[in-house]
Amino acid sequence: MRKCLGIIVLDFILVVAATAFEKDIRPILENTCLKCHGGEKVKGKVDFSGILNLEQAEEQLDLWEKVVDVLETGDMPPEDERQLTTGETRTILDWCHKELAKPIEAQPGIFQPRRLSAPEYRNTLRSLFGFDLKVSIATAEQTLSGEQSLVLKLLPIDPPGVSGFVNDTHGTKLSPILMDQYLHLSDAALEKLFSIKGRKQLSFLMGVQKSEAWKPYDITLEEANTLISNFISRALRRPIKAKMATQVSKSLERKIGEELLKAIKFEMKAILMSPAFLYRGLLMEGKPGIQQSVDSFELAERLSYFLWEDRPDDELTELASSGEISKPGIIAEQVSRMLLSPNSRSLAESFAVQWLGLANIDDMFKNDPGDRGHGMRTQPRDFLHYLFTEERPVMELIDSRVTFVNQSTSGFYGKDRQRLARFHKPQGVERQRTMNQRLELREAEGRGGILTMPSILIMNRGPILRGTWMLRRILGVELGEPPADVPPIKPSPRGQKLSFRERFAVHRENASCSRCHNKIDPLGFALDGYDNNGRYLLGEAQKKNLKTPIDTSGQLPGGETFEDFEELKAVFMTSQRENIVRNIVEQTLTYALCRELKRFDQSTVNTITKNLCRDNGTWKSLFTQIANSLPFRETFIQNAKHEESKLED
């Protein structure tokens, strides 16, 4: 009887919830939102037209999070559209908060094989063959050269996926142009492998040391089978299956000399052009329809492409073969080992560059091939690599006493530059790039952490760009695009000398502008103590030269006040700490999973964020927790033919 009563109560609750949506929420959407977000118009990829009942609404919880955000900040509806009444706003927010408060257990995403991104393909090809394919153009060391990798030179640039990262290739097609480039690169790699330059790697794959005098057409059938078997297992990132080994072996039977060599190259080229090589995860074994752990080889791939942007090395492959890699303790050991490898540089060069938009620095200094441009481009990357690989706390991104400078960028750091190792320019060389040196900050004013690095400040010139960059990249706040008809900043009235900040205060009185600028401006103007060239203007010596004082004070929407950037940094390290750590976790998890995060991922984000905040957690701890997390280690295969459905394009 009690069980029946419970079922009745539950059914009643569901009926009430459904009535609330269809009676109270749906009519508001129809009267206010569907004009721009439904039917023929779907602005901002937000479409309410297909949400007709509670069941459909509950499938779009990610959307309701966005609804809460724009309603609470006043970003929607637009000024020129019908506005919600206070009661309508409260009705939607109350319903959304109740729905979003319902606990959702962590679960993995639906399994989707995906094509190797261009950097992943380059690294995979390089580690498979043991050499890189480079553009055959000699350039002077002091000249800013173009792309040196033949792979990256030929392959089209991957657009960022829905997640914002280029490794999210689920939505990109395997086009004929791309296949032609793969074909050319495969030929180039095989040609080099069977040349004298590739003799060392060819000997490794054959399992027999060969001298330079040995000719490839002298290969024996036994050596050929060993070569093909080793190559296929390394290319496919898992052991070759007996059926495939038998088929390949038959194709080589009764062949010798040039004929055998031709057959070997054909089989190797077929593997390089196969979807199983070009796609990650295509060979993962599993059962459709159930939540399950990924197989050990898929786990090794996920870890390797996460930390190295490359195929698993021999140690990871051996751990996958034995099944040991599935043990959490082993994962932690491997993360520590892999961060010590030069391959971990990809975390700074790929993940961080995309997350923080550092490629814009490259664009700004593309015409500066000298020491200054080199220093500006590499300083944030070297700093991030240090944080990622030397077990530094995640919040040292904001406040650190360590930086990296070369001879040209050291001038921004005052007396601290005197502790750098002396540089002696070689005789007869007019210009030479100098390498960054690690520098401990002791006396430098206004420096420390990534936010005050000269190249970051130059990349984001002016308070609006600087505030927007901090909001989006550091705090993870989503900002809509500015209105198309934003009026220009008016000059000072005749007879008055107003600062840009004072003139901008008049501009932001427009309600449609103030919504975003209430969040942007306090952060951006806090950095007004740095000029457009990244120089600090508020040091004790510099302030004497200022004609008018610079106002760097502000108040955040949450009420926190500050007088200058140092005080804002203190706010970041305290009351805004959790928001910054959460954004770091979300960005890193997104990159690791190669997909956009969903509502069911928030449990994982919450847990890792809580752990890092409690323990002043390090980047290594973050990487380890992600590698041991449920969405990283488990999956859900939707149907038995997920491989074929992905490749239909």
**Residue 502 C-alpha from the chain's centroid:** 37
Count of H-run helices and E-run strands, the chain: 30, 10
97 and 121 belong to one structural domain: no
Q: Tell me: do 469 and 366 sit in the same domain.
A: yes
The full DSSP string for 261-273 is: HHHHHHHHHHHHT
Q: What is the pLDDT of residue 498?
A: 64
Task: Tell whether 379 and 231 lie within a shared domain.
Answer: no
Specify whether 396 is located in the same domain as 504: yes
The DSSP symbol for 564 reads S
Q: How far apart are CA 398 and CA 413, in angstroms?
A: 17
Query: Strand, helix or coil at 280?
Result: strand
What pLDDT sits at residue 512?
A: 59
The verdict on 261 and 356 lying in the same domain is: no
Assigned domain for 38 exists: yes
Count other C-beta atoms under 10 Å from residue 275's C-beta. 15
Domain boundary pick from 526, 551, 573: 573
The number of domains in the chain is 3
- The reported pLDDT for the residue numbered 11 is 44
Residue 500 falls within a domain, yes or no?
yes
Question: What sign does the dihedral 160-163-166-167 (CA atoms) show?
Answer: negative
The answer as to whether 140 is a domain residue is yes
DSSP assignment letter at 409: G
Only one residue has tokens 């809509």, namely 480
pLDDT at residue 647, as a whole number: 39
CB neighbours of 225 closer than 8 A, spacing ≥ 6? 248, 249, 252
Please report whether residue 330 resides in a domain: no
What's residue 214's pLDDT? 92
Same-domain pairing of 82 and 146 = no
Distance CA 105, CA 603 (A): 7
Q: Which amino acid is located at 30 in the chain?
A: E
- State the Cα–Cα distance between residues 264 and 222, nearest whole angstrom: 12
Which residues form the domain of 137?
114-280
In 462-604, the DSSP E strands lie at 554-555, 561-562
pLDDT of residue 634: 96
Domain boundary at 101, 128, 148, which? 101
- Same domain? For 71 and 166 the reply is no
C-beta atoms surrounding 266 within 10 Å: 12
Which of 245, 280, 315 is a domain's end point?
Answer: 280
Is 160 within the bounds of a domain?
A: yes
Residues 249 and 367 in one domain: no
Do 65 and 208 reside in the same domain of the chain? no
On whether both 453 and 557 belong to a single domain, the answer is yes
Residues 376 and 515 in one domain: yes
The residues of the chain scoring below 70 in pLDDT are 1-19, 39-42, 44-45, 73-75, 79-80, 137-146, 424-431, 480-493, 495-498, 502-515, 541, 639-649
Query: Does 579 reside within a domain?
Result: no
Residue 383 lies in a domain: yes
- Cα–Cα distance for residue pair 290/21, rounded to 1 Å: 31
- pLDDT value, residue 159: 93
Count of CA atoms in the C-beta half-sphere (13 A) of 306: 31
Paired with 634 in beta bridges are 293
Q: How confident is the model at residue 141, as a pLDDT?
A: 43
The torsion angles phi and psi of 216, rounded to 5 degrees, stand at: -55, -30
Examine residue 538 and state whether it is found in any structural domain, yes or no: yes
CB 551 within 8 A of CB 499: yes
Same domain, 118 and 91: no
Give the DSSP letter string of 524-586: HHHTTTB-TTS-BS-STTTGGG-SS-----EE-TTS-EESSHHHHHHHHHTTTHHHHHHHHHH
> In the prediction, which pLDDT does 167 show?
96
SS3 8: helix
